[in-house]
Amino acid sequence: MSETTIEHESVEGIWSLLRRAMANTAFDTPDDLDRILRRELRRTQLRPNLIDRCLTATRLPLTQPNPP
C-alpha cells in the first residue's frame, strides 16, 4: 500500500464523522462553514475513543511512539 493510500484511509473515518455532524446544514458564508468545521473538529478531539475507532478501522498496525 502506498503512503498516500494509508493517509487517505486514516483520515476518511474522521471526515465521515464530520460530514455526519454537519449533514443537512446550510452555510450562509464560507466563514460559517469554517466555524462549524472547527467546532466539530474540537468536539472530535475531545473524544479520543472516536479517533481510536477510526484508526482501528484502517487495520493498520498501531504502535506507541518511543519516548525520547
Q: Could you give the angle at the alpha carbon of 38 between the alpha carbons of 34 and 44, nearest 5°? A: 145
pLDDT at 2 over 70: no
Q: What is the pLDDT of residue 11?
A: 75
Q: Could you give the angle at the alpha carbon of 59 between the alpha carbons of 11 and 65, nearest 5°? A: 75
Q: What is the pLDDT of residue 19?
A: 83
Q: Is the pTM of this model over 0.85?
A: no
Q: What is the pLDDT of residue 29?
A: 94
CB of 51 within 8 A of CB of 57?
no
At a CB cut-off of 8 Å and minimum separation 6, what does 33 contact?
A: 27
Q: What is the pLDDT of residue 32?
A: 92
Residue type, 1: M
Q: What is the pLDDT of residues 21-50, one digit of tens each?
A: 888 888 899 999 999 889 988 888 888 887
